[in-house]
Amino acid sequence: MELIFFYAAPLLIAGVAVAIAVTTVLRARERSQAWSSGLVAEARCLRIYTSTHRSDSGSRTVRHFVFEFTTAEGRTVRFEEEDLPGTIIEDDFVPVHYTAERPEKATAQEPSRTANLLGTTGILVFCGVVVAFCVGFMVVATTISDAMGDF
């Protein structure tokens, strides 16, 4: 039982934090590439829906926006993005930035490299703190265990 509490749980938590960090960096990179590509199209907001995530500390509602646009090559692309401004409603047309190689990774967010960098940095710092805490917890648990001779 001690093995699960002192090693498996912190490793699982640290693994989730690392996965969140990797996902955050990849999405930030995709947004940056889309903004840098220079390709812009008018997309129509097809649908808006919400999803609610509940936890012990409360709940969080996320707004999902589904967009459709046509690339310069004539390909119709549909993509989904979360947490855009509440001023966007269904049937609105908004500019989207995309890359020619992966138009399905488009973004309707306004180009803001500073906000992209700060948001990504904040999440990475938080994930780093979580991983450091988990590693520290396991080191302290091992040290105490070795001193007591229980493990």
Are 47 and 107 in contact by the 8 Å Cβ rule? The answer is no
CA distances, 97 to each of 29, 42, 43, 72, 112 (Å): 13, 9, 10, 12, 12
Residues 22-48 have pLDDT tens digits of 999 999 999 999 999 999 999 999 999
Structure confidence at residue 1 as a pLDDT band (50, 70, 90): low
Residues 33-86 have pLDDT tens digits of 999 999 999 999 999 999 998 877 788 889 999 999 999 999 999 999 998 988
Q: What pLDDT, on a 0 to 100 scale, did the predictor assign at position 131?
A: 97
Three-state DSSP state, 54 = strand
For 34, phi then psi, to 5°, come to -65, -45
Please state, in angstroms and rounded to a whole number, the distance separating the CA atoms of residues 148 and 151.
8
